[in-house]
Chains A and B, each alone.
Chain A
Amino acid sequence: MPLLDVKDLSVTFARRGQRTVRAVDGVSFSVEAGEVVGLVGESGCGKSVTSLALMGLLPKQRGVTVGGSAMFGDTDLLKTDERTMRDIRGRDVAMIFQDPLSSLNPVVPIGVQVTEVLARHRGLTGAKATAEAADLLNRVGIPDPTRRLKEYPHQLSGGMRQRALIAMAVACAPKLLIADEPTTALDVTIQAQILELLRDLVRDSGTALVMITHDLGVVAGMCDTVNVLYAGRVVESARRKPLFAEPRHPYTTGLLGSVPRLDSGKGAAARDPRFGAGRPAVAGRVRVRPALRPPCRRLCR
């Protein structure tokens, strides 16, 4: 049995006077224990909405409809009550976001924020909690952790903030970590540090990871399986190597062909047999077509 089994997840946003947006439209994927699963796609394809739905973090208001199921053990994450969900969040399933500043409390020192998590889910308090917090910061590669614990989020660099957030996320050794564009806001050398850290964490602790990104390179370097999203649907799902070696869906092929690669110079895509002649730029713009259900959305571009 997979650790997480998402079946036919759909999310629609309805607002009065506006057309209904079907942001996620029948997405299914599963995550085995210790596995790294990628969700990759362009802006607006529904990656963040998918992760928020799984975490029970979508706005609880009329007009937001979530369908399908997401079985985590015996619990359906989409249907469980808010109290159970609060226990699961942080303890069993944790999430990190693109912008660490928005998920840290700006007026509370880092140390207090980390020890709060430890108190809540692991019952640690006082000196014990502080020692554990320092140890966690150390594990995620924050230099001089005891001093950093006393500092506020704005005093840390972007990379260090993301590390602090990862420290909080892994504080309770969750079974599943969902990372939504965790490195998009960072410089590439800092991104490399964070990706390495995530790789180590997954390897050492057996935590499963759902890696959400628009960067096919990130996916190629760390995911076991990859789901390609387009306009709220999974258009292709494959193991990492087959996906890149023989993409089956025209959208995946187009996406791969349009990425300028560091290891290929001017005009190299044109010479790649996978993409035929010329660089096949995907035409038009990815957009969510409101409540539209043709057999295939590429047709309507």
Chain B
Amino acid sequence: MTETLVEVDDLKVHFPIKRGVFLDRVVGHVKAVDGVDLRINKGETYGLVGESGCGKSTLGRALLQLTPPTGGRVNFDGTELTTLPPKQLRSMRRRMQMIFQDPMSSLDPRQNVESILTEGLQAHGLGGSRAERRKIISKSLDAVGLPQWALSRYPHEFSGGQRQRIGIARAVVLNPDLIVADEPVSALDVSIQAQVINLLEELQEELGLTYLVIAHDLAVVRHISDTVGVMYLGALVEEAPSDDLYRQPLHPYTRALMSAVPVPDPEVEDRRERILLAGDLPSPANPPSGCRFHTRCPWAQPTKCRDERPGLRIIGTGTHKVACHWAEQIESGEIRPHAVKAEVVADGAGAKEAHGALHNAIESPGGPVI
């Protein structure tokens, strides 16, 4: 019997785009997350994939209420988080931990490992006596495969993979129910990635953890997830059990994304179908009308695609969902792909650049923002 731990309903996060000398004029919104529904079952892993700037991190942060949502609801184990008073939210946080991409920047270089791990316990008033705390800490070190002498060392004394283990230990020491892992392995070398992925899987089995794993690497996500959601410009375009999605991707974007991932096998590479997308990702500040993928979709049709936004709908047995008006006809081959002319993205910047430009904009008020 599967039980739902997290239920997200029509979640939205819109960031204001400010202009003017004092950045006091709001000229538009970056719709980083724009209407996402998803549920994560207890003890399972939900993998969220999509390209840079599509809103994965923002979704993860909004789910944990680290970024206040503009709209929608997040239900965590029966409690509505979006309306929870700050104090109760704080105590709820112990049960929802986060792991980051770059462990170095999320670990304080002046704290040794023991103090990094103690901090969370103290903040949540856990562990009781000092001796008890030590026991908990040393257990979590064991769990992540770090030696006990690591306690007195500082983050810079460890390799990237080991630092990520420290980040994981910091999360599991609090005995959480949910861990949101934002690109947990993308900063690591491939051979180290495998170790960290294995560790996350082992911990899940031992501790019954539920994961939301965010990654741009589809192979990593497939490897670790039970269910996978594919994001494009702030919304889910497809969601299915991991194997179903990879066996039979239905959304044109998912197909293109999967055909673009290089597979380390020449035989596979030589005979696979490649769907090349034209042009860049449109800016989330000015997303295309209708289906947000219509500007690049090789299957786009003259009707509906431009003016009607498709929602996620169930196809087939009930676990595979896709947001495309023509999914059935594309799957059956009734609609054939056609060439797409690359569109020049307004302001010469795709989502990824808008992403970077934002930070610059803060330093150059009055300058062109996005």
Contact = CB atoms under 8 A, between A and B. Distances in A.
Interface string A264-294: 0110000000000001011001100000000
A260 to B, nearest CB: 4
B226 to A, nearest CB: 9
Contacts of B190: 42, 214, 216, 255, 258-259
Contact of B269 (A220, A259, A282): A220
B262 A279 contact: no
B263 interface: yes
B348 A260 contact: no
B134 interface: no
Contact of B198 (A188, A240, A279, A285): A279
B261 interface: yes
Contacts of B353: 157-158
A188 B195 contact: no
Nearest to A223: B266
Given A215-B262, A217-B261, A218-B262, A143 B344 contact: yes
Given A42-B189, A144-B344, A190-B280, A219 B264 contact: yes
A138 to B, nearest CB: 11
Nearest to A258: B194
Nearest to A221: B269
A220 B270 CA distance: 9
B343 interface: yes
A281 B202 CA distance: 14
Interface string B329-358: 000000000000111110111101100000
Interface in B246-273: 246, 256-269
A218 B265 CA distance: 10
Interface residues of B, number: 56
Contacts, number: 152
A220 B280 contact: no
B191 A258 contact: yes
Given A141-B342, A157-B353, A285-B160, A265 B246 contact: yes
Interface stretch (A1-9, A91-99, A171-179, A191-199): A191-199
Interface residues of A, number: 51
B174 interface: no
Nearest to B253: A189
Contacts of A156: 348
A285 B264 contact: no
A243 to B, nearest CB: 8
A268 to B, nearest CB: 8
Contact of A220 (B218, B264, B345): B264
A285 B280 contact: no
Interface of B: 51-52, 159-161, 189-195, 197-198, 216-220, 222-224, 242-243, 246, 256-269, 274, 276-277, 279-281, 341-345, 347-350, 352-353
Interface of A: 42-43, 141, 143-144, 147, 151, 155-160, 187-193, 195-196, 214-222, 240-241, 244, 254-263, 265-266, 279, 281-282, 285-286
